[in-house]
Chains A and B, each alone.
Chain A
């Protein structure tokens, strides 16, 4: 049976290991945003022995490029972007302790393997629900690569951000299970 689990970052092996594909997660705490351009730079920085813009171990990365914050708002619309574009970089970060990735859409084989091997999960936010997701974000601050505009790395504080577990540490995949259950 799927259940709803509340989690707060930073995440531990234990936090993520209890999750099963199909569970709902309400995530709170600090998370970081990065899309493909930022991933490229983060991975290059680590390879060159530099500090990444945020600690990777225990982190949750949200694949998002928000729209500009109108006056009086913390952030603009902030739904997930399609995750496969980050597949080239994700295993490298998972090996270094990344615990959760938040996005939408399928992940590649190597990412799924890395999640099982190093205990990490892939969580889906509802794609296109940009205004709704913004409601879960209470703080937002650009912390690296401001020249990337919407693709800059941001530190977000989230409160009960509604997510679905797609890939768990046991190798299960909600996208596949969903199709099996409802396909004819």
Chain B
């Protein structure tokens, strides 16, 4: 058996700090391509104009180093930890929080985390929400998703009666988007997880947002549902910024897995157009 590879947790802090700046300031290339495609396809002149402004906004952010959006999000961190890695030099959770603390300060990002009742701001955008998986290999893969409040607030979880079936799932997704309307800054992206349990569905819905917008789902059943849901959502007419149009949603990600014989969980995580996600491998 080979010796485990040692990784300093301070390297994880450094990576997270850098990802905070990149994610909040640089619009991912896949999202930019998707804006361009949506602009070409949009029928509403106002909607086209909004998409043009969003592209302009992304360029401005890049040039001025201001964040894309003033809501720089709560830092959601996904970690895939290789089982042949030995973390040394400190506490992993604290290392991630230290990265967030530094990144949000150094890049002039808004601190948007507070106590739920007193609403007192924690002052440094910590604590981050961290989802860790142990995977084969000797690498540490870090993804940072700064999640804005406007779109997160429009997300929903349903524990449907199995009899409602596929139609029930589709209705749950459409009802979520209708209720959200203009609030989550359309064009949106939807992370939809079907099956699993209450907790697991919500995490998978969020994790699906890490996928590239032009990626193809390897599960044909999920891929088909993605297409159907995208068409149905875009028929709602909400449009860019909710001002009316055909481009309400850029992509639906669907993740399907088995569930309890009594259950049909559906989690819908709504992501705004500021679809920030950046990753690093250590």
A interface with B by C-beta (< 8 Å):
2, 22, 37, 64-70, 73, 76-79, 81-82, 84, 104-106, 124, 126-132, 134-135, 149-150, 162, 164, 174-175, 177-184
Contacts and interface: CB of A to CB of B under 8 A. Distances in A.
B242 A70 contact: no
Top-8 shortest CB links A-B: A178-B244, A183-B237, A182-B237, A127-B185, A105-B183, A67-B110, A77-B70, A131-B61
Given A178-B44, A178-B244, A67 B57 contact: no
B149 to A, nearest CB: 8
A181 B70 contact: no
B110 A68 contact: yes
B37 interface: no
B119 A130 contact: no
B121 A124 contact: no
A76 B70 contact: yes
A126 B54 contact: yes
B70 A127 contact: no
Contacts of B181: 105-106, 175, 179
Contacts of B68: 77, 128, 130-131
Contacts of A179: 181, 236-239, 244
B66 A134 contact: yes
A126 B68 CA distance: 12
A77 B61 contact: yes
6 contacts: A67-B72, A70-B66, A128-B54, A128-B69, A179-B236, A179-B244
B102 to A, nearest CB: 14
A104 B54 contact: no
A101 to B, nearest CB: 14
Nearest to A150: B110
B121 A149 contact: yes
B246 interface: yes
B71 interface: yes
B243 A178 contact: yes
The residue in A65, A67, A68, A149 that gathers the most chain B C-beta atoms within 10 A of its C-beta is A67
A79 B239 CA distance: 18
B70 A175 contact: no
Nearest to A149: B121
Contacts of B238: 178-179
A174 B239 CA distance: 12
Contacts of B112: 65, 150
B237 A164 contact: no
Given A67-B70, A132-B53, A132-B60, A180 B237 contact: yes
B244 A127 contact: no
B273 interface: yes
